Amino acid sequence: MALYADTEILSALLSHVAGLDLEPALSIAWPNTQFPPSGEALPASYLRVDVVPNRNQNPWLADDDETWHRGLLVLAVSFQEGRGAITPSKVAGAIADHFAMGTQLRRSGLIIEIYEQPSVGGGDWNPDSNRYEMQVTMRWQCFVPFDFPQKGA
């Protein structure tokens, strides 16, 4: 089976999210999964994950040069009303530390790099979830070799 760069990049980013050691520990709402699981109530606090790829580019002239993949990883720290802003801010800071500028994630020969310091947004009220949310945005990039995917890898 062939390896696909976009799938490997997504897998590396989500694996790094799964490695977060947060205080307090938070349930994670993964992309395209039911959250909360059927029959369960929405937790008082949780983390929502969104991966937003950008347009790929081939900034060099040769047809066999690397393709520049890049995008955003957005983690929304969600807390119930009345919990204040300090705890969500501490959680957001821990996420930013976990994805510090220069962090390199390796998967299937690819290197996915966090190339800017993560941005921690101010908290906002989300009427859809009835939660206070603070977003942490990481900018990632990966230069994918011309001969990727590696068939049979």
Taken in order 101, 53, 3, 147, the sign of the CA dihedral is negative
Q: Which domains does the chain have, with CATH numbers?
A: 5-144 (3.30.2000.20)
The pLDDT assigned to 150 comes to: 55
Contacts 24+ apart (CB under 8 A), 11-15: 11/107, 12/105, 12/106, 12/107, 12/110, 12/112, 13/51, 13/73, 13/105, 13/112, 13/140, 14/49, 14/51, 15/105, 15/107
DSSP label at residue 82: T
33, 52 in Cβ contact below 8 A?
Answer: no
| pLDDT at residue 152, rounded to an integer | 46
The predicted pLDDT at position 2 comes to: 54
Question: Which H or E run contains 1?
Answer: none
pLDDT in tens, the chain (153 residues): 456 999 999 999 999 999 999 988 999 999 999 999 999 999 999 999 999 999 988 888 777 888 999 999 999 999 988 888 899 999 999 999 999 999 999 999 999 999 999 999 988 888 887 889 999 999 999 999 988 875 544
pTM of the model as a whole: 0.90
